[in-house]
Copies of this chain bind each other. A is one copy, B any other.
Amino acid sequence: MTPLVHSFVAHFGEMGSRWGINRTVGQIYALIFVSPKPLCADEIAETLSYSRSNVSMGLKELQSWRLVKLRHVAGDRREYFDAPSDAWEIFRTLAEERRRREMEPTLSMLRSALLETPSCDEDKVAQERMKGMHDLIELMSNWFDDVQRLDAQTLAKLMRMGARVQKLLELTGQLKSGSKE
């Protein structure tokens, strides 16, 4: 590993826990991400000094996040991995997986909590707050879904507009009020 790659890999190892993955998984991903060619488990284990089995589990985890893709090299029985290098694709994948793992379970818990009949004033207040949380999470979740469908270019344009979208929205409001609906 060159010093440049080493520092990148080390950083991903350190940040791993904040991102909800562990050190090994973070480092494996970083290594695959910057590698010019697909890597096999042995190379990864060797480079990072982790056991072959640990790397195997890490790769499974990364596949479950859809952050690495399995490749086959002609005339080689081993499995090779590379990572999508398009940042937008990665962002989409992460957003989708996080929604699935971090938002959906809560949404479904909130949905059933909101169906309960409150048994006291305390429950009434609790349900009101849960309702607020539920509605926001649902809104965000649907928004993610919509945004997934935009192409990278449009998405980038939107982001670059940033707060100026507000102006656009005001403008449309005016247009609309003078037309249908």
Residues of A at the B interface (CB closer than 8 Å) are 2-5, 7-8, 11, 15, 17-20, 33-36, 85-88, 90-91, 101-102, 105-106, 109, 113, 116, 118-123, 125-127, 129-130, 132-133, 135-136, 139-140, 142-143, 145-147, 149-150, 154, 156-160, 162-166, 168-169, 172
Residues of B within 8 A of A143 (CB): 159-160, 162
Q: Chain A contact residues: over half helix, strand or loop, or mixed?
A: helix
Measured between alpha carbons, how far is A154 from B102 in the docked complex, in Å? 25
Residues of B within 8 A of A87 (CB): 132-133, 135-136
Q: In the complex, what's the smallest C-beta–C-beta distance from A17 to chain B, in angstroms? A: 8
* In contact, A159 and B140 (Cβ under 8 angstroms): yes
Measured between alpha carbons, how far is A136 from B87 in the docked complex, in Å? 6
* In contact, B123 and A150 (Cβ under 8 angstroms): no
